[in-house]
Amino acid sequence: MTAHLILKIAHILSGAVLFGTGAGIAFFMLRAHMTKDPRTIASVGRMVVLADFVFTSTAVVIQPLSGLALIHLQGYALTEPWLVAAYVLYVLIGVCWLPVVWIQWRMTRLAEQAARDGASLPPLYHRLFMAWFALGWPAFAGVIAVYALMVAKPVF
């Protein structure tokens, strides 16, 4: 197996992990939120935060490293317009994702506290959920757009 093939597989798989983990996390957090049960939200939240740390953060590192190596091996200029668009989108995705990680962690802590106290979720939890939900959409759309750029390699 060549270095090019190994890098390509790593890049495709890390992209799949990035997209799949993000979609899975969104699904499970949303479903937990819909129960309005602090114990369920706390339990799912702990798993989601762990999954983000283990899978998403690993893919976030592998993506640019494998991508830059593939750019070099395939002879593309770093300034190809479709690559520059992908870089911009990757930064946008990161700008959305980083606060989402903190928000998920904070929502989980608030749900754990409510569960311990036998209380309802506090208003801060609901405000954080709305921010989490709002930040998820541009990140999700950005990942799809990066996939489109990687496949089409359009000429601008």
Alpha-carbon gap, residue 133 to 131, rounded angstroms: 5
Question: Would you say 78 and 152 are in contact if contact means Cβ atoms under 8 Å apart?
Answer: no
| Rounded average pLDDT over 71-85 | 96
Q: Which residue has the tokens 């640019």?
A: 64
Mean of all residue pLDDT scores within the chain: 96
pLDDT digits (tens, 9 = 90+) for 4-24: 999 999 999 999 999 999 999
Range of 135's domain?
A: 3-152
Three-state DSSP class for residue 115: helix
pLDDT digits (tens, 9 = 90+) for 104-128: 999 999 999 999 999 999 999 999 9
Query: Domains in the chain: how many in total?
Result: 1
